[in-house]
Amino acid sequence: MTVLLPEADATVLARRAEVVAVLRRLVSADAVIDDVARMRPYESDALTAYRQLPLVVVLPETTLQVAAVLRWCHENGVRVVPRGAGTSLSGGALPLGDAVLLVLSKFSRILEIDIEDRLAVVQSGVANLAISAAAEPHGLYYAPDPSSQIACSIGGNVAENSGGVHCLKYGLTTHNVLGVRLVTMEGEIVDLGGRAFDSSGLDLLGVVVGSEGLLGVVTEVTVRLLPKPESVRALLIGFPTVDDAARCVADVIAGGIIPAGMEMMDRPAIHAAEAFVQAGYPLDAEALLIVEVDGPPAECDHLVAEIEQLAMRNAAESCRSSSSEAERLRFWAGRKAAFPAVSRIAPDYYCMDGTIPRRRLPEVLQRIRALSEHYGLGVANVFHAGDGNLHPLILYDANQPGQLEAAEEFGNDILRLCVEVGGVLTGEHGVGIEKRDLMPEMFSTDDLAHQERVKCAFDPKQLLNPGKVFPTLHRCAELGRVHVHGGVVRFPELPRF
């Protein structure tokens, strides 16, 4: 696959030795990696179709070091790409040839767990799951649970506003982050949000979460912790048609129930998963729902009974509810292993991430099937059914000429379809480089300019992670121009807030 990245700055490339020497001085000699062999592991994130060696890799371990690196790079016009654990699926952490790759993996300390106020202060390189592990002895946990949670960093979660199976009830990263310590490209250290619930002034924290590493480097994160639910139960429901399953999902929600998670798989995904882990999935079903509820046991029992009824009313052919923790985990085993399961039925797969209004699901799946025939590539669908977030997995073989390109085209068509029916390009994986050029499908030039200008406020020279998210790299001076219609503007003395 090819994607146009900002042209490398020849003067920076020529100054490589100097950049390396400065980084060694600002951080430390062993925190800088400049030989090709050791830089190789950093040449891509989890969107491995794109690879690019960085100018140099640096692994600072204090906020002051990050600030020093960014300040120097800013003064010297050197680009910087932040990287957490490198599990991004949209190429957000893809290096640039003329940019310093700033890796946060040494920011690995959990600084504090406040039990009474139910929050944790952690460094940004801490793995998502490590926060819950640290909170566990206190009966607390960190709710957003991306499938990559063993590996992905909380800083990466903040940058991507990551979700997970349980974000239907507990929200995405943005709903669970109270504050961040941010270093701007100019090397300024600011705290956005904190331990209070909201902050004075504009909600800059709100826009930094999900900004894909373009607005600043996050070194510390304060997250909300939740009490662990008393009990958890799951249902495994098979349907003869996708329509029936979709109607059941709508009925559950219309019935006033927000399950902890509600996942759907289509026939190809069911078969792949069952062959891989033998979870006991019904192989004759066209659609499978896994619905999880949590809370006091009495509540779970009540909800399980309600959902069973709704399932039956929507033509469910099989419906089992977990009566033990082992059984619940078995229900999930196939869904959790969906990606590796799919990689057993095809040499390669490409994971998409659009969101649609749920009511359009049957129609969208039908059109995806038609596209699948058109491109001659298989597709398996796993789906965060509760919130309409689709993950079609396009099956292809990169060794067959043309298939990679066809898979990419197929994926783009799916995302265009999502937008066409009133949805969006990405529900949780981010735009990165992958969906960058599709942004105009969703946003007009003016819409995009209003977003790009936020970038200009944080990073006027556009040195931090350029070439990601926005299809065109506009200069801030150009974006800043004011068009006054039919009049002369005086610049009044403005009051400042």
Partner 1 sequence: MRPCDENEVVEIVRAAMAQSRRLQWCGGGSKRDIGAAEEDSALVDLRGLQGIIDYDPSELVLTVRAGTPWAEIERALAAERQMLACEPLDVAGCFGRSPGEMTMGGLVASGLSGPRRVVAGSVRDHVLGFRAVSGRGELFVGGGKVVKNVTGYDLPKLLTGSWGRLAALTEVTLKVLPAPETVCVVALQGLEAAQAWQFLARVLGSSVGATAALHFGPGTARAESLTVIRLEGFEPSVAARLQGLHGLLAPHQALLTLSDSQRSALWASLASLDVLPRDRPIWRLSVPARRCSQLLAELAAGDDRWLFDWGGALCWLASHVEPERLRDAVAAVGGHAMLWRADAPLRRRLPTFHPLSAALGALEERVRSQFDPLGVFATSRFAGSVDAH
Per CB under 6 A, residues contacting ligand FAD are: 45-46, 81-89, 92-93, 104, 124, 146-148, 152-153, 155-157, 159-160, 162-164, 212-213, 217-218, 339, 428-429, 465
Which of 136, 422, 475, 478 contacts partner 1 by CB under 8 A? 422
Using DSSP bridges, classify how beta strands 189-193 and 177-183 pair: parallel, antiparallel or unpaired: antiparallel
The residue within the footprint of partner 1, chosen from 302, 320, 367, 416 (CB under 8 A), is 302
* Residue 212: other Cβ atoms inside 10 A: 21
Residue 147: name its binding partner from ligand FAD, partner 1, none (Cβ under 5 to 8 Å by kind): ligand FAD
Give me the residues paired with residue 380 across strands: 393
CB of 395 to partner 1, least distance (A): 25
Which residue lies nearer to partner 1 by CB, 106 or 359? Answer: 359
Shortest Å distance, C-beta 30 to partner 1: 31
3-state helix, strand and coil shares in percent for the chain, rounded to the nearest 5: 40, 20, 40
Find which of ligand FAD, partner 1, none residue 478 binds, CB within 5 to 8 Å per kind: none
Identify the residue whose tokens are 């826009």.
207
Element (H, E) at 142: none
Could you tell me which of 330, 350, 352, 316 has the C-alpha nearest to residue 425? 352
**SS3 state of residue 161:** coil
By a kind-dependent CB cut-off of 5 to 8 A, residue 133 interacts, out of partner 1, ligand FAD, none, with none
Nearer to partner 1, 397 or 447 (CB): 447
Nearer to partner 1, 41 or 227 (CB): 227
Residue 296's binding partner out of partner 1, ligand FAD, none, with CB under 5 to 8 Å set by partner kind: partner 1
Q: Give the span between the Cα atoms of 208 and 201, in whole angstroms.
A: 14
Q: Rank residues 200 and 399 by Cβ distance to partner 1 and give the closer one.
A: 200
Amino acid residing at 270: I
Q: Which helix (H) or strand (E) holds 489?
A: none
Among 10, 30, 36, 116, binds partner 1 (CB under 8 A): 116
Enumerate the β-bridge partners of residue 396: 348
- Between residues 171 and 280, which has the closer beta carbon with respect to partner 1? 171
Please identify, using beta-carbon distances, which residue of 288 and 393 lies nearer to ligand FAD: 393
- Beta-bridged to residue 153, according to DSSP, are 127
45 makes contact, choosing from ligand FAD, partner 1, none, with CB < 5 to 8 Å by partner type, with: ligand FAD
| Phi-psi domain of 186 (left: phi exceeds 0; alpha: psi -120 through 50; beta: other) | alpha
Q: Does 198 bind partner 1 (CB under 8 A)?
A: yes
**52/88 with CB nearer partner 1:** 88
Contact 328, 286 (CB under 8 A): no
Query: Tokens 């566990």 — which residue?
Result: 136
Nearest-approach distance from CB 158 to ligand FAD, in angstroms:
7
* Residue from 359, 367, 369, 416 binding partner 1 (CB under 8 A): 359
User: Among residues 158 and 293, whose Cβ is nearest to ligand FAD?
Assistant: 158
Is residue 131 within the footprint of partner 1 (CB under 8 A)? no
Contacted by 209, from ligand FAD, partner 1, none: CB < 5 to 8 Å by type: partner 1
> Cα(first)–Cα(last) distance of the chain, in Å?
47
Q: Which long-range contacts (CB under 8 A, 24 or more apart) does 146-153 make?
A: 146/428, 147/336, 147/339, 148/46, 148/85, 148/87, 151/85, 151/87, 151/127, 152/84, 152/85, 152/87, 152/127, 152/128, 153/84, 153/85, 153/104, 153/105, 153/124, 153/125, 153/126, 153/127, 153/128
Total Cβ atoms within 10 A of residue 163 = 26
Q: Which is nearer to partner 1, 268 or 388 (CB)?
A: 388
Residue 257 engages partner 1 in binding (rule: CB under 8 A): yes
399 touching partner 1, by CB under 8 A: no
Query: Which long-range contacts (C-beta less than 8 Å, at least 24 apart) are formed by 274-277?
Result: 274/334, 275/341, 275/344, 275/345, 276/334, 276/337, 276/340, 276/341, 276/344, 277/333, 277/334, 277/337, 277/341
Sheet (strand 56-58) strand order: 32-33, 56-58, 99-103, 79-83
Interaction pattern, residues 231-250, with partner 1; x per rule: CB under 8 A: -------------------x
Instruction: Look at residue 217 and give the partner it binds from partner 1, ligand FAD, none, a contact being a CB closer than 5 to 8 Å depending on partner kind.
Output: ligand FAD
**Does 190 help bind partner 1 (rule: CB under 8 A)?**
yes
381 backbone dihedrals φ, ψ, rounded to 5°: -115, 120
Residue whose CB is less far from partner 1, 155 or 210 = 210
**Closer to partner 1 at the Cβ: 22 or 316?**
316
46 binds partner 1 (CB under 8 A): no
Q: Is 425 in the site for partner 1 (CB under 8 A)?
A: yes
Q: Candidates 21-29, 96-104, 150-158, 454-462 — which segment interacts with partner 1 by CB under 8 A?
A: 454-462
Does the footprint of partner 1 cover residue 213 (CB under 8 A)?
Answer: no
Q: Where are the beta strands (DSSP E) in 44-164?
A: 56-58, 79-83, 99-103, 110-114, 119-123, 140-141
- The correct pick among 14, 41, 150, 296 for binding partner 1 (CB under 8 A) is 296
Q: How many residues does the chain have?
A: 497
148 binds, among ligand FAD, partner 1, none (CB under 5 to 8 A by kind): ligand FAD
Among partner 1, ligand FAD, none, residue 46 binds (CB under 5-8 Å by kind): ligand FAD
